[in-house]
Chains A and B, each alone.
Chain A
Amino acid sequence: MSPNTWVIEMPTQKTRLHPYPRRISPYRTPSVNRNAFSHEARPPPPPPPLPKTLEHPVFEDIRTIMSVLKASGLMPIYEQLSSYKVGPPTKTNEFYSFFVRGVVHALTIFNVYSLFTPSSAQLFYSYRETDNVNQWIELLLCILTYTLTVFVCARNTKNVLRVMNEILQLDEEVRRRFGANLSQNFSFSVKYLVGITACQTYIIVLKIYAVEGVITPTSYVLLAFYAVQNGLTATYIVFASALLRIVYIRFHFINQLLNGYTYVQQQRRKGGNRRTTAAPSLMEHFPEDSLFIYRMHNKLLRIYKGINDCCNLILVSFLGYSFYTVTTNCYNLFVQITAKGMVSSNILQWCFAWLCMHVSLLALLSRSCGLTTREANATSQILARVYAKSKEYQNIIDKFLTKSIKQEVQFTAYGFFAIDNSTLFKIFSAVTTYLVILIQFKQLEDSKVEDHVQEQPQT
């Protein structure tokens, strides 16, 4: 037991796994190829094939985003030991990640140096002085966020692998018991990846067009690295959301499993069965299923917490950066729209591109967190509905319910605040507050200038 690092050490599985007969999945349609959530009834499929060969890659659903993160050194290039286990990266791959991270830090130092010297001055020319300061801070925040992401990822290599192995282990157990392959369409991650790339390219092109005169190589490097940093930070956020969706699917699976034991579901099934064959006792498998579900739930909570711990700091930093960017861009938009006859389409497009990217990322993150949290907390609610089914099983349900009273789980940003759907609302209300303050400052500034102009002719 390592000092203070123990959170919850799960009891060894060897002692817990007993030779259960293979049970059918919540929808009574055992199939490895079946999506766990396809509700349409299918004819009984052929017996499940044996576990696939080692070539079958793990986390195939999110492989595109993972390959981007692996190439950029944010994820370890792990070795696949079996269909349900990944191992630490080889020395060469580890060296590659280390090298990439080194290059990133070197470029970061170069960029910070450029920001503090006049060599990057040509990038901040088109706005008023306050806007230049805003953009300068935005760039610094972006550098800070990405550097923090790289540091945290490097430190959490082992934890990420542990979380991945736990997910795979859980999948293996579900597959062995129910024959269900828990996969879902993660095409959103690819769409986001394309969207982020397009947004960043568009922003850079806009910036290049906006700069007057010949652009120096330093500015090119600064811009290109800025785009890469933004893109990769955004990609990491999409990855975190995808991981949360993976956990959500597993929570949903066990919840569906329990849902099958609720009164309404059983009535429905009984009605269906009356027309076909006599149903076996519907609660027959509940004791063994409940033990399995409780174990899965504990494991999933541990995975959920593991993911939260891995990206705690990154999320705080990203949310801060995102909040700042959204506020400044909204302010810029306001200034552009209210300015009489001075509307610049370049700045408008720039602001819209930033807003689109950050708002969509915030929406994705809060939605994924909200979904997973809701599903994790739903288990006890569903179980409470099973409670009245049969007196003999009440003590089994009691076991779970007594330990779930007032024990809602939350996905937090370093404990500062919970991230769920309400976060989006909170961020936008904060943006509004700060926008009002900024506009008040602007009005004060304008009135000062006007007073100054009026005073001058008199003197």
Chain B
Amino acid sequence: MFCRRGGFRQKLVHVTLRGALYGSWILGLFPFTYDSWTRKLHRSKWLIGYGIVLNVAIVTLILANDTEAETPARMEVFQRNPLAEQINSVHDFHSLSMVVLMLLRCYWRSEDIGKILNELMDLQWCHFRQYSLDDCCKFDNFVLHKGLSVGLEVCSMLILELGMYPKYSLQLFLGVIGLCTIVLVVLLGASHFHLAVVYIYRCVWIVNRELLRFANQLAEGETVDPAGVDRLLGLYSRLLELNHRLVEIYDYQMVMVMVSFLAANVLGIYYYIIFSISLHKDMDIILLFIVPQALFINMYDFWLSIAVCDLAERTGGKTSTILKLFNDIENLDVSLERSISDFALFCSHQRLRFRHCGLFYVNYGMGFRMTITSFLYLLFLIQFEFSNL
């Protein structure tokens, strides 16, 4: 699955994917061992135990070394606005429950995750290995962007935590290390879903390319074997089923992560406004660099998670458009026409979409609506603040 291809970009992608894999193993997020003989992943109870012990230790470390409340800037904001303090405690509780849920779901459904990953590897090895993958730039770009965003998120967390404190202590360092590790756990856990989605996207992209090749061949008067179209339909339906199972497993985690990201952005801007406008603070390094960078990186990561689902959805939509190219081909073989019709009917009734908990589809439209809603909530919060002036 992680086969290396030529070119600098491909090497970078390979390194990023390897990094995500080893990082997940170290943090106890990936409780599987790989058997290279059978090319299968096996669930390991030892790794699950290791993951539970490690993460409980990290959370305890954070709770034991919680120096967050002592930040002077934060204290000022909370004294100025008690509502901000209440919201902050709700957000903290939400973050903790998100970590617990992410880890529990990861271990609890590990058998299903293992099956999905094995099937995906199986598909890759048996059916998609022979196709050239170098053209799929969007896959490479997404993997690189995701790796970059995870790295930036951890760095921004470090800068945010260390930059806001006037004096350093051992307790602070332990707390910050624990916090960064748990952030990495959450980000890597979410990126497992996104990486699986981008793998599915690449397979669908290959199916589309093959269909397009068939359409061009027919237009040029060549013949196409109907079995080829049937094979593609079989692969497509397997990919859609895998996607469906994947979304079902990662439902709660992704909803929690998205809510957390949005809440962090809204609250970040809200604190920024209270600090800079209501408290009439002068522009210093905290206001000019530390808080804005954290906000930008957070938004970047959030948008990346939306963009990958939208990319896969649009690619799934293109399959139907490509099938329309078979409409105006004369003297199409009856069995081929039937295969194409089957494919078209399948596409119209089952689509590559990402619906979490039956609540919403993840795509650009939803991302836009989420952004608008966040802006509205921010306005409401500012109105509360304004009435306290």
| Chain A residues at the B interface, C-beta cutoff of 8 Å | 1, 3-4, 6-12, 15-16, 291-292, 294-295, 297-298, 301, 398-400, 402-407, 414-417, 433, 437, 440-441, 444, 448
Whether, in the assembled complex, B70 has its beta carbon less than 8 Å from a beta carbon of chain A, the answer is no
Known: A9-B212, A415-B363. 16 other contacts (CB 8 A): A4-B137, A6-B212, A16-B219, A294-B324, A399-B326, A399-B327, A399-B337, A402-B345, A403-B324, A405-B345, A405-B348, A406-B348, A415-B310, A415-B365, A437-B379, A444-B387
- B366 CB, nearest partner CB in chain A, Å: 10
Q: Report if B75 contacts A (CB, 8 A).
A: no
**Residues of A close to B221: CB separation below 8 A:** 15
CA distance A15 to B136 in the complex (A): 29
Q: With A7-B318, A415-B310, A417-B368 given, is the CB distance from A403 to B212 under 8 Å?
A: no
Asked if A417 contacts B365 (CB within 8 A), the reply is yes
Q: Which residue of A lies closest to B379 (CB)?
A: A437
Near A by CB (< 8 A), chain B positions 193-245 give 205, 209, 212, 215-216, 218-221
- Within B350-389, which residues are at the interface with A (CB < 8 Å)? 363-365, 367-368, 376, 379, 383, 386-387, 389
Contact residues in A for B135 (Cβ distance below 8 Å)? 1, 3-4
> Would you call B386 and A441 a contact (CB within 8 A)?
yes
**Interchain CA distance A389-B115 in the complex, whole Å:** 51
Check if B344 is an interface residue, CB within 8 A of chain A: yes
Q: Which residues of A contact B341 (CB under 8 A)?
A: 398-399, 402
Q: A19 to nearest B CB, angstroms? A: 13
Does B321 lie at the interface of the complex (its beta carbon under 8 Å from any beta carbon of A)? yes
Contacts of B136 in A (CB 8 A): 3-4
CB distance from A137 to the nearest CB of B (A): 14
Which residue of B135, B314, B328, B345 has the most chain A CB atoms within 10 A of its CB atom? B328
Closest 10 CB pairs of A and B: A11-B219, A415-B364, A3-B135, A416-B368, A405-B348, A294-B327, A295-B328, A294-B328, A403-B344, A406-B348
Q: Is the CB of B383 within 8 A of A440?
A: yes
Tell yes or no: B325 within 8 A of A by CB.
Answer: yes
Contact between B364 and A416 (Cβ–Cβ < 8 Å)?
A: yes
Given contacts A403-B324, A444-B386, contact A9 B216 (CB under 8 A): yes
Chain B residues with CB under 8 A of A399: 326-327, 337, 341
Looking at the assembled complex, report how far the CB atom of B94 sits from the nearest CB atom of chain A, in whole angstroms. Answer: 26
Q: How far is the CA of A405 from the CA of B350 in the complex (A)?
A: 11
Q: Which residues of A contact B215 (CB under 8 A)?
A: 11
Which chain A residues border B314 with CB–CB below 8 Å?
A: 415
Of A4, A400, A405, which one neighbours B327 at CB under 8 angstroms? A400
Mostly, the B contact residues are: helix
* Interface: B330 (CB within 8 A): yes
**Nearest A residue to B205, CB-CB:** A4
CB neighbours of B386 from chain A (8 A): 441, 444
Contacts A/B (CB < 8 Å), 10 sampled: A4-B135, A6-B209, A7-B318, A8-B318, A8-B325, A10-B325, A295-B327, A399-B327, A400-B327, A440-B383
Residues of chain B in range 273-328 having any CB-CB distance to chain A below 8 Å: 310, 314, 318, 320-328
Q: Which of B349, B379, B383 contacts A444 (CB 8 A)?
A: B383
Chain A residue with the shortest CB-CB distance to B315: A4
Interfacial chain B residues near A3, Cβ < 8 Å: 134-137
Asked if residues A291 and B220 are in contact (CB atoms below 8 Å), the reply is no
Which A residues are CB-close (under 8 A) to B379?
437
Contacts of B216 in A (CB 8 A): 9, 11-12
B55 to chain A, nearest CB (A): 37
CA distance in complex: A406, B310 (Å): 18
B39: chain A residues within 8 A (beta carbon): none
CB of A319 to closest CB in B, whole Å: 11
Question: Nearest Cβ distance between residue B268 and chain A, in whole angstroms?
Answer: 21
* Distance, CA A1 to CA B134, complexed state (A): 12
A198 to B337, CA, bound (A): 58
Contact status A298-B324, CB under 8 Å = yes
- Which residue of the partner chain, among A1, A406, A416, contacts B209 with CB atoms under 8 Å? A1
Least Cβ distance of B42 to chain A in Å?
35
Chain B residues with CB under 8 Å of A414's CB are 364
CA distance in complex: A448, B389 (Å): 8
Looking at A12, A16, A416, the one whose CB has the most chain B CB atoms below 10 A away is: A416
Whether B18 is near chain A, meaning CB under 8 Å from some CB there, is no
**Which residue of A4, A291, A400, A405 contacts B138 across the interface (Cβ within 8 Å)?**
A4
Cα of A301 to Cα of B389 in the assembled complex, Å: 56
Assess whether A12 is in contact with B219, with CB atoms less than 8 Å apart: yes
Q: Which of B205, B219, B322, B330 has the most CB of A within 10 A?
A: B219
The residues of B that contact A404 with a CB separation of less than 8 Å are 324
Contact A301 B321 (CB under 8 A): yes
Measured in the bound complex, the distance between the Cα atoms of B343 and A403 in whole Å is 9
B365, A16: Cβ atoms closer than 8 Å = no
CB atoms of A8 and B321 under 8 A apart: yes
Residues in chain B near residue A437, CB distance under 8 A: 379, 383
Chain B residues contacting A402 (CB-CB under 8 Å) are: 341, 344-345, 348
| Bound Cα distance A437, B218 (Å) | 59
Q: Which residue of B lies closest to A293 (CB)?
A: B328
Q: Closest approach, in angstroms, between the C-beta of A12 and any C-beta of chain B?
A: 7
Q: Considering only CB atoms, which chain A residue lies closest to B364 in the complex?
A: A415
By a CB distance below 8 angstroms, the chain B residues around A407 are: 320-321, 348
Are the C-beta atoms of A441 and B365 separated by less than 8 Å?
A: no
A441 contacts B322, CB within 8 Å? Answer: no
A1 to B216, CA, bound (A): 11
Residues of B within 8 A of A301 (CB): 321, 324
How far does the alpha carbon of A5 sit from the alpha carbon of B28 in the complex, in Å? 39
What is the bound-complex CA distance between A399 and B387, given in angstroms?
Answer: 63
CB of B207 to closest CB in A, whole Å? 13
Chain B residues with CB under 8 A of A403: 320, 323-324, 326-327, 344, 348
The listed residue (A9, A291, A444) touching B330 by CB distance below 8 A is A291
> Chain A contacts of B345 at CB under 8 A?
402, 405
When A398-B341, A402-B345, A415-B365 are in contact, do A15 and B219 touch as well, CB less than 8 Å?
A: yes
With A and B bound together, what is the CA distance between A298 and B219 in angstroms? 14
Q: Mark B240-254, 1 if CB is under 8 A from A, else 0.
A: 000000000000000
